[in-house]
Amino acid sequence: MTYKKSVSIYNEIGHLRSVLVHSPGKEIENIVPDYLRRLLFDEIAYLKQARKEHLQFVNLLKNEGVEVLYLTELMEEILQENEIRNDFLEDFMEEGRVGTEGIKEAMREFFSTMSPLDMVRKCIAGVRTEELSHIKAKSLGDMVRNPYPFYLDPIPNLYFQRDPFASIGEGITLNVMHSETRNRETLFAKYLFDHHPRFQNVPRWYNRDKSHPIEGGDQLVLSEKVAAIGISERTNPIAIEKVARNLFYSDEPFEIVLAFDIPKTRAYMHLDTVFTMVDYDKFTIYPGIEAPLDVYSIVKGKNKSLHISYEADKLSSILKKYLNLPAVDLIRCGDGDPIAAGREQWSDGSNTLAVSPGKVICYDRNYVTNEALRQHGVEVLEFESYELSRGRGGPRCMSMPLIREKI
Ligand SMILES: NC(=O)NCCC[C@H](N)C(=O)O
């Protein structure tokens, strides 16, 4: 089946038709303890096993009839054109803080013999200092000794394709990341939407030239009318207002943005680490954020303004009201047991990816939550999760849906 639009996302649970992923590569092996936290990892993953797990994830998706697109392959197609390839490298070096002309020149030479695919992979993996020989010192910066082992940092979080951009309706938000280590991820998305023939004329509800951060893990499309966005460690309320305004004053049907004010901590860095939708009326939630949870509704105001209200009800009532449901089922991470909930949330027990209504992909390690989901009538497809989980993201984080069936 072919679709007229390259992006069409009006819900979280309709049959997933097309999804973008990145399988972790050599960038994972460029993580060392000194830079672990800055690279937003808590542990060093074993690449071979991580790739095996990622393949299991992709195979589950394919078995459900989902078209799986790899970011590296789409980038390979774009970089066939020399002009785009050169522009990309210049932008990539600039944003990767390759500061001196001597290193830039050596870097250009280093990449010049690579195929487009190797170049993309190397950009993601990072460039170690010993890989560039013959740097002609042109400035003080080229001459001074620097013990830092990389000229270009690795981008180990790229396998969390959920975050650098987000599909909403027939458009995207091209995001501004909270931390510098993830900002070059959005450059891949920019080139994809600027240059890939499949993704032409996709409207942008937010752009990476803005100053306030917003990340895709905070962005949920609950229905054709309702989007939910987390106010989190990673997403600023000013960015949420801009997205709401651009959505409301477009041809899209969205009428309400619910802003969930979640705790600003590492464990709950995005809304989707504590709350995901699994069926028409079922959600999985980490009980630690349930109360008190401040929710604000944003709707159109007069003269292109926004009208913002505090929602005084509890979460289940807010969801019932805005999704027009007689009842909702909130399924607790760890089945409500605080120790199991804390342990399983840390490894993304609430971070499910729905492939169709009531059918979700989950990490196998979160067996208490997965059993609770089953008890509530949800079908759970599991895959191994020893290593991928070390990056603090789950199946939803590792996927960017491009097309879902409307429900
Ligand atoms: N949507 C998500 O929650 N993504 C997980 C991102 C994990 C990554 N290590 C990060 O800290 O940004």
Index of the ligand 1 atom closest to the CA of residue 266: 11
pLDDT at 267: 85
| 333 is a catalytic site residue | no
- Give, for 141, the enclosing helix (H) or strand (E): helix 140-143
From 123, 333, 362, 397, the catalytic residue? 397
Gap from CA of 76 to ligand 1 centroid (Å)? 25
Which residue among 173, 269, 353, 389 is best mutated to probe the pocket of ligand 1, counting the most ligand atoms within 8 A of its Cβ?
269
Closest residue by Cα to atom 1, ligand 1, is: 217
Domain boundaries, the chain: 16-69+156-404, 97-152
Closest residue by Cα to atom 5, ligand 1, is: 393
pLDDT at 3: 61
Closest residue by Cα to atom 11, ligand 1, is: 40
Q: pLDDT under 70 in the chain at which residues?
A: 1-3
C-alpha radius of gyration, the chain, whole number: 21
Fold for the domain defined by 16-69+156-404: L-arginine/glycine Amidinotransferase; Chain A (3.75.10)
pLDDT at 402: 98
User: Residue 238 corresponds to which tokens in the numbers above?
Assistant: 């000013």
Closest residue by Cα to atom 12, ligand 1, is: 40
Gap from CA of 157 to ligand 1 centroid (Å)? 7
Q: Give the Cα separation of 78 and 88 in Å (integer).
A: 10
Question: Are 161 and 185 a contacting pair, CB within 8 Å?
Answer: no
Pocket residues: Cβ below 6 A from ligand 1:
40, 157, 160, 162-163, 182, 217, 269-270, 272-273, 391-393, 397
133, burial (CB in 10 Å: exposed 0-12, middle 13-18, buried 19+): exposed
Angle between the 116-125 and 82-95 helix axes, to the nearest 10 degrees?
10
Q: ipTM of the assembly?
A: 0.98
pLDDT at 135: 78
Q: Give the Cα separation of 83 and 381 in Å (integer).
A: 43
Index of the ligand 1 atom closest to the CA of residue 348: 3
Question: Are 240 and 257 a contacting pair, CB within 8 Å?
Answer: yes
In 24-130, which residue ranges form alpha helices assigned H by DSSP?
A: 47-63, 71-78, 82-95, 101-112, 116-125
Gap from CA of 270 to ligand 1 centroid (Å)? 7
> So what's the architecture of 97-152 in CATH?
Orthogonal Bundle (1.10)
pLDDT at 2: 56
Gap from CA of 103 to ligand 1 centroid (Å)? 31
pLDDT at 213: 98
pLDDT at 383: 98
Q: Match 């992923």 to its residue by tokens.
A: 21
Q: Give the Cα separation of 11 and 226 in Å (integer).
A: 9
Q: Give the Cα separation of 129 and 149 in Å (integer).
A: 6
Index of the ligand 1 atom closest to the CA of residue 392: 7
Question: Are 212 and 205 a contacting pair, CB within 8 Å?
Answer: no
Q: What is the model's pTM?
A: 0.96
Beta-bridge partners for 275:
285
Which residue among 157, 159, 275 is best mutated to probe the pocket of ligand 1, counting the most ligand atoms within 8 A of its Cβ?
157
Gap from CA of 189 to ligand 1 centroid (Å)? 17
Index of the ligand 1 atom closest to the CA of residue 273: 3
Quote the Cα angle for 332-392-384, to 5°: 80
